[in-house]
Amino acid sequence: MKKNYKIILIVIGLAGILWSFRQQQVVKDKKAAIITGVNRVIEYAHYHPAYVNNDFSEKVFKEFIEDLDPSKRYFLQSDIDALSAYKDSIDNEIREGKSDFYKKAYAIIQQRQAESVDYINDILAKGFDFNKDEILNIDYKKIKPAKTKAELKERWRKYLKFNTLSRLYDKIKAQEKKLEKDHTFKPKSRKELEKEALKATKKSIKTYIDALKDMEDMDYFSMYMNAITMQNDPHTNYFSPQGKERFDTSMSGSFEGIGARLQKDGDYVKIIEIIAGGPAWKEGKLKVGDLIQKVGQGDDEPVDIMGMRLSKVVKLIKGPKGTVVKLIVKRVDGSIETIPIVRDRVELEDTFAKSLLISDKDKRFGYIYLPKFYINFKKRNQRSAATDIKKELEKLKAKNVKGIILDLRNNGGGSLSTVIDIAGYFIDKGPVVQVRDKKNDVEVLKDKDKEIIYNGPVVVLINELSASASEILAAALQDYNRAIIIGGKSYGKGTVQNLIGLNRVQGDAFGDLGALKWTTKKFYRINGGSTQRKGVTPDIFLPDNYMYLKIREENEPTALAWDKIDAADYHLYSIPQKQKLIQEEQKRINHTPLFKHLKEKAKWIADNKKDQTIYLKLDKYIADLKKSEKTGKKFDSLTKFKSDFDIESLPEDIQAKAKDTVFKHKRKKWINAIKKDPYINEAVKVLRKETTQ
């Protein structure tokens, strides 16, 4: 039995320091308590706190203004000029617990939002001319603030025209499909469809306005606090009391919804993870990278979520089990699709490790999927990623598999203690990861148990969304020469965070102050290199849709730097003719038509993302969409791939779930997905070659 290592937690003697803080400064209100509490923790406990000076102030100023008005449809240049008086003094306000800049910005945005309602109502009352040749530029970072209210109104007009135009196109397309199926169908006139589209926009924008009105002072203040905290690094975040509640819910492993994790992406919301076993996973159409444009409840008209706060979008998508939510999404290839999903309870059970048997002619291999490094911190004797992986390895070992594929793609990390244990299943003993704190003290975390659960060939699959704990495990097995890593370059998150309730810092005089998650340490590979920014480079590279997109840690402006420390003391294992195998397999993959095609698609996706122009004349809008769809169809062949391997569940898994129809449905769907996965196909080929040398 591998030793259950203690989870890495910060030990900094906060109690005495924070008590002395309380004696030094008296805060007068809740915002002051939050500001001073956040500042104290970051200043004294952050791994590498940002220097709070005038430069820091300017960055916070810019970040908060962009967060308040990302599409530049609210603030006037005169508003920015007025707020610029605070540009160099935010650092002083932070130290003094003041929020004058925030209060001024909040007052202005409230005023401009109220004025925008008048613009919107006037514009929608007049309607639109879809024969007028004009464009909408959505490259908002390059657009300057409007100088006049008339200019602001014009921006709203173009945005609302685009909103209505997209609905008009959807209705035209729906009619065309109906006519193809039923020649007796009588299509509506263009004018009738325009009226319907405009009516739908009016309903959608009303919901948007209502959502804005629902936002409270503390919602905006949380944005301000995060504009401050994220100057230290991307993973230092403030949670309001409501945000902390949502954070706790997300960590509990059980909720009612669609089973997808979301992230703000400009005006829209991006799918960043599909939770295995959840409703979206079962339905199968929603993909990582999809941008949600509209959300509908059942048969109701979908609501445009452009510019809407993420919390409001989440609220629209979540709902009672058994109800239907419709997501109108924009694919990474530019196509638009409506995806209905029946909400259900998403259980943690669906995110646990699981395995399959893959037979390739005369050889059988084991496949293990690990979606995250989970653990119950309150009940450590319960199942964890480590205990489950051990069980799966033992089951596969009993079937005499010739090699193991460990799939860590899209695994964002989790418990460090489980990483130590899992790495230990493949090595006899030794260091797994090094951790350095702000004092430059280095701790080497080791597997001290000589027991090896599996000593055969191992291939680890990673991609750009494999982060943190995933990178530690992949790096350790790579450094030990214990596994061949294939896939894409990993995310590059090499930092450790801790969470503290601010009431521990400031007391309870002002009610619940929320919490702060801040960076306390950095991870280092046993070879001395940090995983921060650089991530893990695979031994064999496989192209994918993400390869040209700027989605890694290194693309975050405040990401901590890469560095290295001394290597730990460890020994190497032997993979016969490893370099020859890697070179030959990489050469074969580079000349494989499917992966050549995948690389072309990735380049097309990246280029398509750069196009920030939307045509607002109907015929040009349709022509542009059809052009994109036509180009996208060149890559349809990628969806037709299917391996010729035999894939099956382990007999004991089937027996244990003999009466569980949901399990059977999920397992059948999962096996079909594995058959269509070219990356797993390549992992099997690499294993086969390794075991025949």
> Catalytic site residues?
468, 479, 493
| Residue 439: other Cβ atoms inside 10 A | 8
What distance in Å separates the CA atoms of residue 685 and residue 584, rounded to the nearest whole number? 12
% helix, strand, coil for the chain, step of 5: 45, 20, 35
Strand stretches in 144-224, DSSP E: none
Question: What is the SS3 assignment for 292-326?
Answer: EEEEEECCCCCEECCCCCHHHHHHHHCCCCCCEEE
The answer to whether residues 468 and 413 touch, using CB atoms and an 8 Å cutoff, is yes
**SS3 state at 153:** helix
What distance in Å separates the CA atoms of residue 225 and residue 618, rounded to the nearest whole number? 43
Region of 468 (left: φ > 0; alpha: ψ -120 to 50; beta: rest) is: left
Beta-bridge partner residues of 360: 363
| Residue 51: other Cβ atoms inside 10 A | 8
**SS3 state at 54:** helix
Q: Helices 385-398 and 416-424: crossing angle, nearest 10°?
A: 20
What distance in Å separates the CA atoms of residue 433 and residue 443, rounded to the nearest whole number? 9
Q: Are strands 354-360 and 430-437 parallel, antiparallel or unpaired?
A: unpaired
The answer to whether residues 432 and 476 touch, using CB atoms and an 8 Å cutoff, is yes
What distance in Å separates the CA atoms of residue 478 and residue 566, rounded to the nearest whole number? 17
What distance in Å separates the CA atoms of residue 231 and residue 26, rounded to the nearest whole number? 26
Nearest to 666 by CA among 278, 211, 84: 278
Query: First and final CA of the chain: distance in angstroms?
Result: 33
Distance set, CA 53 to CA 60, 89, 206 (Å): 11, 8, 42
